[in-house]
Structure 1
């Protein structure tokens, strides 16, 4: 069964290829969802997959791509059913 989580990643996460690296990792994991930059400097991710796969993505988000410096990852379950894009999208 797939679940959906929303992540907010803060630190030096914009201008370092974070969105594209997240898209690539999510595609490798077979996830549906999207990633986008926020005006406050954070990156937002919504992803749908099984819990183990979501946990794997969350662990990866704590590091991100090499140029990034992640300070904090916030994670929330998203209630209800929604259709997320597949393949994973950069917004």
Structure 2
């Protein structure tokens, strides 16, 4: 019952990565931001800590990202002012 010619997974040679070198985490993030810049504009704001903390809780409860939450607020305000259909 002995195994003859058994090859363990650790002794097998690894398959060569055929698509070139994999991207680093930083390169992946930069590529993602570059794709977003085609259809989005960046907004940098400072918000008081208590407001930000409450926004995070609401986002978690509703399953939204913070960007989605802020986009909704902007849309609601523009609709209310009659600037968005």
Mark yes or no: TM-score above 0.5: no
Structure with the higher strand share, 1 or 2: 1
Structure with the higher helix share, 1 or 2: 2
Taking structure 1 as the reference length, the TM-score comes to 0.24
Structure with higher RCO (Cα < 8 A, 6+ apart): 1
Instruction: Look at both structures and tell me which one has the larger radius of gyration over its CA atoms.
Output: 2
Taking structure 2 as the reference length, the TM-score comes to 0.26
